[in-house]
Structure 1
Amino acid sequence: MQLRALMYFDELVRTNSMRAAAENLNVAATAVSRQIENLEHHFGTPLVERSNRGIKLTAAGELLAARAGKTLRELEHVHQLIDDLQGLQRGRVVIFANGAVVANLLAPVLAEFSLRYPKLRFEVAITSAREAVEALAAAEADLVVTLFAPKISGVKVRVRSELTYDVIMAADHPAAGAKELTLRDLVRMPLALPDKSFSARQAFEDVFAKDGLTLDPVFVTGSLEMLKELVLRRAAVTLLPALAVQREIQAGQLTAVPVVSGRAVRTPIDLCVAPDRQLSFAAGKLVDFIEGFMRGADTRKSGRRKAVE
């Protein structure tokens, strides 16, 4: 059995069409069909059923499809390890991140790392926490950075840090000069918050409920950019980690005011890897780099808490 046949089969499964698979592979449709026939001859059983509506996998085809993709990704990983003999002169790292806040925190880290190693390539997917860790377990990702990582076999939390949410407001907001704000202060202000499908929003609800307070945001959105825009236009304040809007704070557009000690919302952020899969040299370096950033964020957070107290 040739590797090419597996590659063609994997593309056919992904596209569900001989023609589309052939176009993506830049070959004739007959070439794809011939490779599928080679696989069927090798396994001694039909793998696909052809019809005018496309192709349908047989039971044997489903079994092969579940393993072919992972096998090809593992071979790509071996290729990456061989590339490591060249040092950080080439290579690709696939990162899955959970949510816009995490992506916004990850972006400056990746930018700095890329400036150090300009020949590397990065692919970043923004998904739910569960989809991210499942991608890692299935060898579709090299590493995952996520909030509230669910426990899944084949995934290890390399380092856990903590995000502290401050009150983010326009720099000229009347409360911008406050040293800290209470939760009761916040419920009196127009709020812009993520919807209840977000883990951070659920954490907000829990913290406010403990003080007998109910959140009634004026704006609810899943877009980090919209949250920032609403705050910049002074229509609302929001709750975000200060690091997520560091650029706007440094530009003097926004400011971050801590929530009164003991009432701040905090959520875990996890850097996850697959314990049974050796990281490529490039991915390993990036993991170390992100870990250093996360531990540094913990140090900065502790220092700020001491200053507030």
Structure 2
Amino acid sequence: MHMRAFDYLRVIAEIGSLRGAAQKIGITATALSRQIEHLEYYFRVKLLERDQRGIRLTPAGNIVVETAEKVLHELDNTQKRVDDLKGLRSGLVNIRVSSSTLTTMMAPALLSLNDEYPGLRFLVEVSSAPLVGEALVAGKADLGLTIFAPDLSELTLCKRLPVVHSAIMAPSHPLSKNTMISLHDLTHHTLSIPDSAYFVRRAFDRAVKSNGISLDPVFITGAFELQIELALCGRAILFLPEFSCHNYIMNGQLCAVPLTHDLQVPTSLDLLKASHKSLSTAARIVSTRIGEIMTRMGNNQIVSTRALSL
């Protein structure tokens, strides 16, 4: 039984003639009659009857046509939704990110995706690394992008970029001309670093403790925008990946000075998804685009490291 048969039944009822309905549909009267016979066989009841005015629906036929109209309408809407998904003309992608990844990573990815797929919508929420993982596992986010990603078996790694932290400061800062910054250098200057709730602070504290040096940071905050403002004023040194301040560095507002080996914190920038959840077509496209930007960033990072070694 073909779904068109339901529509054929409706046309016959409207016109009141098998031959007239066949002409409107564009098939032979014999073929149309066969389609109605299939419907009647399926429902085990007569759907049409003749009277002096022509062919009309039986009470059962009226029920079938009324129900079929609703079903066909829903099928039409379903087809449109499937077509939208195929063509990425619509869809919402929920992304959880750490604040330091927003400007450099997310803005270029979202802008290029909006140019290519203007019907897509993006919900981007800022979270700490543990909360990014929790949102993914709970099904509240499609993708997560963060440094110091939580080690959860429920998460799948889509892309990883090794991250190197640097000392970030204004070009006017006394240490900006250094080729390398040591722990001893930092003891004489104002620092702005997050509190111990952040993984980077814990790693930094371990490095300091192992060297037997005590540091007293003046500004303790995890607010990325505030940290940047403190550095722009020439007052504070930040402890961040260079890519997180890329735009400021390119504009000459900030500079990045490499840290000595004892201050390096081994970590990575991770693009994550929930292991139990398959990505939608739209989310896969977003994941691929972010991954491409991470690859380019990794290549630039390698070039910078080589240039420094030369």
Question: Shorter-chain TM-score category?
Answer: 0.5 to 0.7
In the aligned structure 1, how far is the partner of 2:302 from the partner of 2:213? 27
In the aligned structure 1, how far is the partner of 2:80 from the partner of 2:224? 34
**Residue in 2 aligned with 1:11?**
none
Alpha-carbon deviations, 1:222-246, whole Å to 9, x = none? 2111111111111211111121112
Contact 2:166 2:257 in 1 (8 A): yes
Q: Which moved more, 1:271-280 or 1:110-119?
A: 110-119
In the aligned structure 2, how far is the partner of 1:177 from the partner of 1:80? 60
After TM superposition, the score normalised by the length of structure 1 is 0.67
Alpha-carbon deviations, 1:194-223, whole Å to 9, x = none? 111111111211222232222211111121
User: Is the partner of 1:265 in helix, strand or coil?
Assistant: coil
How many angstroms does 1:80 deviate by? 11
Instruction: Give the percent of matched residue pairs that are identical in Structure 1 and Structure 2.
Output: 34
**Residue in 2 aligned with 1:280?**
280
In the aligned structure 1, how far is the partner of 2:299 from the partner of 2:251? 24
After TM superposition, the score normalised by the length of structure 2 is 0.67
In the aligned structure 1, how far is the partner of 2:157 from the partner of 2:197? 23
User: Is the partner of 1:113 in helix, strand or coil?
Assistant: helix
For 1:80-99, list aligned pairs within 5 A. 82=82, 85-97=85-97, 99=98
In the aligned structure 2, how far is the partner of 1:177 from the partner of 1:79? 62
In the aligned structure 2, how far is the partner of 1:138 from the partner of 1:83? 29
Contact 1:83 1:91 in 2 (8 A): no
For 1:11-90, list aligned pairs within 5 A. 82=82, 85-90=85-90
Task: Give the direction of change, closer, same or farther, for the CA distance of 1:288–1:80 in structure 2 (3 Å limit).
Answer: farther
Task: Give the direction of change, closer, same or farther, for the CA distance of 1:245–1:102 in structure 2 (3 Å limit).
Answer: same
Give the residue type in structure 2 aligned to 1:155: L
Alpha-carbon deviations, 1:143-184, whole Å to 9, x = none? 111222223343212222222111111122222222222221
In the aligned structure 2, how far is the partner of 1:124 from the partner of 1:85? 20
**Residue in 2 aligned with 1:196?**
196
> Where does structure 2 lack aligned partners over 5 or more consecutive residues?
1-77
In the aligned structure 1, how far is the partner of 2:179 from the partner of 2:115? 36
User: Is the partner of 2:305 in helix, strand or coil?
Assistant: helix
State whether structure 2 residue 178 is matched by structure 1 residue 184.
Answer: no
Contact 1:171 1:255 in 2 (8 A): yes
For 1:1-309, list aligned pairs within 5 A. 82=82, 85-97=85-97, 99-108=98-107, 109-261=109-261, 263-309=263-309
The structure number with the bigger radius of gyration is 2
Give the residue type in structure 2 aligned to 1:192: S
How many angstroms does 1:93 deviate by? 0.5
How well do the aligned residues superpose, as a CA RMSD in angstroms? 2.4
Alpha-carbon deviations, 1:60-89, whole Å to 9, x = none? xxxxxxxxxxxxxxxxxx999835544122
How many residue pairs match? The answer is 231
> Where does structure 1 lack aligned partners over 5 or more consecutive residues?
1-77
User: Is the partner of 2:96 in helix, strand or coil?
Assistant: strand
In the aligned structure 1, how far is the partner of 2:130 from the partner of 2:263? 28
Q: Which moved more, 1:171-180 or 1:225-234?
A: 171-180
How many angstroms does 1:262 deviate by? 5.8
In the aligned structure 1, how far is the partner of 2:148 from the partner of 2:162? 10
Task: Give the direction of change, closer, same or farther, for the CA distance of 1:235–1:261 in structure 2 (3 Å limit).
Answer: same
